[in-house]
Amino acid sequence: MTARPILTAPDPRLQAVSTDVERVDDEIRALVTDMTDSMYAAEGIGLAAIQIGVAKRILVIDLDQKEGNKNPRAFINPKITWASEEMATYEEGCLSVPEIWDDVERPARVKCEYLDIDGKPQTLEADGLLATCLQHEMDHLNGVLFIDHLSRLKKSMAVKKLTKAKKLQAAG
């Protein structure tokens, strides 16, 4: 449908805690389509609704698009019901935190319950990149960015870089 602009830090709307979707209807399905289009346009592998300014508990993920395939998945009202004690570290980036990448440690495996695009309850056990991506996108639903997991110094440097880039963009 429509690729929408993606909010970038330090936009305060990214700190909003998203609310549950009451009913999966055509309006929600259209939002999921816009989110997927926005994610593809930005060449990302995941996107939370808040990143396009909609504070609803919805995220989309497509790990296959890195290889040029499309296999988008929508997660509506996702909840992590279990996380492993074993941890894994991945270098993360974010469409809302452009050009910043850093290692983040998260549980290696998770179990997630959510509603699919038809409003049907689903359960997913994930590991590897999918587990990391789910946790990263679910953080957005709670107003948390991946840089919030970094040391105070690294986060401060990242925010300064983002603020400077926004000022240059506005002046340009």
Residue 67 a catalytic site member: no
Question: What residues form DSSP beta bridges with 113?
Answer: 79, 123
Q: Count, in order, helices (H) and strands (E) of the chain.
A: 3, 7
- Write down the catalytic residue from 85, 86, 92, 137: 137
DSSP H or E stretch at residue 97? strand 97-107
Cβ distance 140 to 110 under 8 Å? no
Cβ distance 133 to 46 under 8 Å? yes
Q: Which residues are catalytically annotated?
A: 137
